[in-house]
Amino acid sequence: MAAHPARALLLGALFSLAIVASANTQPAPPDDKIAIAFADRISRDIAAGEVDGAIAKVADAIKTSPQSIQILEANAQTLKTLGKSHYVERVYARDFGRTTKDLIDKIQFDRTPLYVRYIFTVYKDEWRLQRFNFETAITTLPSDWGHIYP
């Protein structure tokens, strides 16, 4: 006895959808809570005056040249002159697709606010710190940081 033509067509369509769905599935990116927690910890360390420890963690995470790390460490010494910190808050967070995250924290010190920027990307199924910047600014956010202003 021959199969009903509508049933055969329906089974064929379901089979085609299953093949397309399995071909288009990509693994989910890793949980971004790891990147967010790292940024939170570094900003809190800087606010607490533990600048050397925070910069050592950043240098280890970025895995850049020794010369770049020395420049970062030298620039970070100026953070010790900003006075006492009063609060830390996240003032900017943006995802670029599912594999890039841009975070900016504001640390309010006695003398001036400090903005700390983290750019994370997914590499080999884990979040990696790609860029780390900090800058004092009188304006709401540093104007020379790209992708913040439209």
**Per-residue pLDDT tens listing for the chain (150 residues):** 555 666 655 555 555 544 544 445 667 778 889 999 999 999 999 999 999 999 999 999 998 888 988 999 999 999 999 999 999 999 999 998 889 999 999 999 998 999 999 999 999 999 999 999 999 876 666 666 665 544
Report the pLDDT value the prediction gives residue 24, as an integer from 0 to 100: 53
Residue 60: alpha-carbon gap to chain centroid? 16
Is residue 55 within 8 A of residue 73, CB to CB? The reply is yes
Report the pLDDT value the prediction gives residue 20, as an integer from 0 to 100: 46
What is the 8-class DSSP label of residue 34? H
Distances 96 to 99, 120, 147, 148 between C-alpha atoms, Å: 7, 10, 10, 12
For residue 34, give every residue at least 6 positions away whose Cβ sits within 8 Å of its Cβ, in sequence order, or none.
126, 127
Report the pLDDT value the prediction gives residue 8, as an integer from 0 to 100: 57
Report the pLDDT value the prediction gives residue 150, as an integer from 0 to 100: 45
Report the pLDDT value the prediction gives residue 139, as an integer from 0 to 100: 64
For residue 91, give every residue at least 6 positions away whose Cβ sits within 8 Å of its Cβ, in sequence order, or none.
104, 105, 106, 115, 140, 141
Query: What residue ranges define each of the domains in the chain, with the CATH number in brackets?
Result: 30-136 (3.10.450.630)
Q: b or e along 66-92 (b: 16 or more beta carbons within 10 Å of the residue's beta carbon)?
A: eeebeebeeebeebeebeebeebeeeb
Distance CA(137)–CA(142), nearest Å, equals 6
Tell me, what amino acid is at 84?
K
Is residue 57 within 8 A of residue 45, CB to CB? The reply is yes
Report the pLDDT value the prediction gives residue 26, as an integer from 0 to 100: 66
